[in-house]
Structure formats: C-alpha cells, structure tokens
Amino acid sequence: MTDPTRAVEDRAAAGFTTRYGGQAAGRWAAPGRVNLIGEHTDYNEGFVLPFALPLRTVVAADRQDAEQWTVWSELSDETITFGADDVAEAGRVTGWGAYVAGVVWALREAGHRVPGARLAIASDVPLGSGLSSSAALESAVLAALLDLGGLELPAELQPRVAQRAENVYVGAPTGIMDQSAVIRCRAGHALFLDCRDESVEQIPFDLDAAGLAVLVIDSRAPHRHADGEYAARRRSCEAGASALGVPALRDVGVDQLDTALAQLDDEETRRRVRHVVTEDQRVLDTVALLRAARVRDIGPLLTASHVSMRDDFEITVPEIDTAVEAALAAGALGARMTGGGFGGCVLALIEADRADEVTAAVEAAYAERGFTAPGTVTVLPSPGATRLP
Ligand code: GLA
C-alpha cells in the first residue's frame, strides 16, 4: 500500500517504480471538479459553470512497444493488464480498469494509434462523492497517452473522447460537463461552458479578493440508485423537449416558460422542464454577476438552484438538504448540492473567516439526525489537466 501522507504525484511515481522498476517517463495530473451552478443542464445542451478542485488524480507512465496496457492503482492496490482485443469492442474490461481501457478504446475509435503503456495511478479525489473522480481518471490517462504517443488532439476536442469512454465503454449516460471541467478549467476561474457548441469562457472567480471561500461538504449519504435516477431524469427532459417540439430544453427561454408548461400534460415533466429552464437562466445570471465582480451576490442564485433541484428535479436526499439548511442558517451566502444528485457534495459560499462555524453547524445538524458525520474542505478554483514537471 502507498503512504497516504505523501503527495499524490509522489505516490504515483513511487507506485510506478515499485511495480515496474525504473522511473516513469512522465506524470500527468487531472483534478476533480465541483459545479458552481448549472445542474442537469449539460445534456439539455444548456449552460454550466464548474471549477476544478485542488484534489487531483495523477498517472505516472511510460510507453511500451507491445499493444498492451498494464495499470496499477493505489486504490485497490491491484494491477490489471489488457490488450488490443480488450479495446476492440466497448465493455470488455470491467471495474475501475474500464475507465482506462475506455480511453484507449475511444482514442482508437477517433483514429489515433495509441501506444502501449505501463501506468501507475494515485488519487486524492474521493470516489463516489460526486466530485468527478471518473472524469479525473479518464482525463489523466488521456493526457498521458496523448503525450506518450505524440498524438495531436486539441484541448477542446479532448472532453468528447473522455466522455465517449464513459458513455460507451463504461456505459454511463453522462453529459459533457465533467470531462470539460477537468480538462479545460483554469486556476482562479470558473468555466462557462455552452454545452451545445462547447464554446467556453473563463470567468474570473476570485474568492480571496472578495474575502470569501467555498466550503465543499461531502454529505456521505449512501448511494441511492443514482444511475437509474440519472437516466430517468434524462428521459424526462428528452420527453419534455420532444413534446414542446424543440431540439433540446436549452431552446426554451425563461420568458417562454409559462407558455411551454401550459403545453405539457404531465405534472412531473412540467417540474423537470421548469428546473432545467430556470437553471440555465441562473447560470447566465451568475456569469453576469461574476463578470461584474459581484461574487457575494451570487449566493441567492446558488440557493435558488438548490430549491429547484429539491422540489422540481427531485434529486436531493435528506443529508444533502440538511447540510444546505444548516450552512444557510449558520450564515452561508448561498448553498446548493453540486453534481448529479442522490448524495454527493454540497457547496456553500461563505465569508472566508466563517468556515469553522459553518462546518460546526453542519456537523451538529447531522449529529442531531443521526447521519454519518460529513466531510468538509475549503477549495479554490484550481488548474485543469496538465503534465507535471
Ligand atoms: C453528473 C454528470 C454530468 C452532469 C451532472 C449534473 O455529474 O456526469 O454530465 O449531468 O451530473 O449536472
């Protein structure tokens, strides 16, 4: 096992040396992400505003002549090997190795000659907390394989390759946000992504200058059929768009919402549509405030997003709602669940000197309800995927 007190890049490098001998040819890092606002809008061709976390996954790797990939991960302390046959067709490698094999498969599908490689993976991104540990893994592996093979793939096209690994090889029907965030985010900025044409704008998100902090609260809520519920939400949105005769819910503006809702017979579809349409507008409003350096003023939009996810999209759980309510009661300027839902994390925008108080308030509310204690950490917008020196 690796020593958890060592930095993640050192653990990956040491893991490489222990498994394979010698030094890795390089190390590539990709972060986890939180989404500041814009939830379940990506697959509706709308807007999202994620930023990258300081928590990263690191791959230490070298190139091999044979068309074979050997991968060690510190998480399971297991080494797997797969070859050309395993990446000839989606789904042949299962478990965590599928995220690695999926990237090899997707690159080959996109017409690249992917070099064989030996990889060692270490990560500080917690699994199953909704912080995109899978996108971090895919994107770190992608960065490594691109460099090792001298392959040309512009940054703006990389998220689709990583997403195909996840959608087709692994089989999870997620949108384009996570891989875009992990690959395209910059330090000190949130990434304003238009999920229709994948154009981006880096929006300054300078918490320090505003005397603010973002507290990420891991709800530690047990998994509650998140995959099936995610796919069901996607289907509802598609049904809503098709009933309204638009390509995607992105095409319904808030000014058209009442008319659109009046055209839908099904009450549940109405709620799902209302969430997506109002959420797209909240992203645009948040971007406008951040452009004007009015960071404090985005708080109410974050909270409104949470209420919409709770009441209209129905993707929150008691632990998550408790964390949001307790953070707000303790003075957070705004708080919302971030990510796909049914557990995962809450983010709270707080005065920089209030982290301890807000944390204590959330812990107390959890204890009162008998929930497993939450995890908390303050984060700053950090760099996207990169080769380490
Ligand atoms: C998950 C998915 C993303 C996005 C979010 C919800 O994180 O991977 O594509 O749909 O849920 O905003």
pLDDT tens, residue by residue, 301-311: 999 999 999 99
- 369 is written with which tokens? 């309800």
CB 25 within 8 A of CB 40: no
Q: For ligand 1, what atom is nearest to the CA of residue 230?
A: 11
Please write the tens of the pLDDT for every residue from 242-282. Answer: 999 999 999 999 999 999 999 999 999 999 999 999 999 99
CB neighbour list of residue 155: distance below 8 Å, 6 or more residues apart: 183, 184
Q: DSSP of 173-234, one letter per residue?
A: ---SHHHHHHHH--TTEEEEEETTT--EEEEE--HHHHTEEEEEEE--PPP-SHHHHHHHHH
CB 30 within 8 A of CB 183: yes
The confidence score (pLDDT) of residue 1 equals: 57
State the CB neighbour count (10 A cutoff) for residue 169. Answer: 25
CB 162 within 8 A of CB 136: no
Angle at the Cα of 115 (from 155 to 387), degrees rounded to 5? 40
The confidence score (pLDDT) of residue 226 equals: 81
123-143 burial by CB neighbour count: b if 16+ within 10 A, else e? bbbbeebbbbbbbbbbbbbbb
Angle at the Cα of 49 (from 46 to 55), degrees rounded to 5? 135
Q: Position 167: which residue type?
A: N
- Please, what's the largest Cα pairwise distance for the chain? 66
CB 1 within 8 A of CB 75: no
CA of 147 to the centre of ligand 1 (A): 28
Distance between CA atoms of residues 251 and 273, nearest Å: 11
CB 57 within 8 A of CB 30: yes
The confidence score (pLDDT) of residue 222 equals: 79
Q: For ligand 1, what atom is nearest to the CA of residue 41?
A: 12
CA of 327 to the centre of ligand 1 (A): 23
From the number of C-beta atoms within 10 Å of its C-beta (0-12, 13-18, 19+), residue 52 rates as buried
- 7 SS3 class: coil
pTM beyond 0.85: the answer is yes
Q: For ligand 1, what atom is nearest to the CA of residue 39?
A: 12
Angle at the Cα of 150 (from 145 to 154), degrees rounded to 5? 80
Segments in the chain below pLDDT 50: none
**Is 336 a pocket residue for ligand 1 (Cβ < 6 Å)?**
no
The confidence score (pLDDT) of residue 224 equals: 72
User: 204 pairs with which residues across the strands?
Assistant: 189
The confidence score (pLDDT) of residue 3 equals: 77
Give whole-number Cα distances, 292 to 36, 47, 49, 296, in Å: 17, 19, 16, 11
Give whole-number Cα distances, 196 to 104, 157, 182, 247, 305, in Å: 26, 14, 18, 11, 21
Pocket mutation for ligand 1, best pick of 39, 174, 180, 314 (most atoms within 8 Å of C-beta) = 174
> Alpha helix locations (H) across the chain?
8-20, 97-109, 133-149, 158-164, 177-184, 207-210, 226-244, 257-262, 267-291, 299-311, 318-329, 355-369
**Nearest C-alpha neighbor of 45 from the set 230, 341, 246:** 246
The catalytic residues are: 178
Backbone φ, ψ for residue 41 (5° rounding): -100, -20
The confidence score (pLDDT) of residue 371 equals: 97
**Is 33 a pocket residue for ligand 1 (Cβ < 6 Å)?**
no
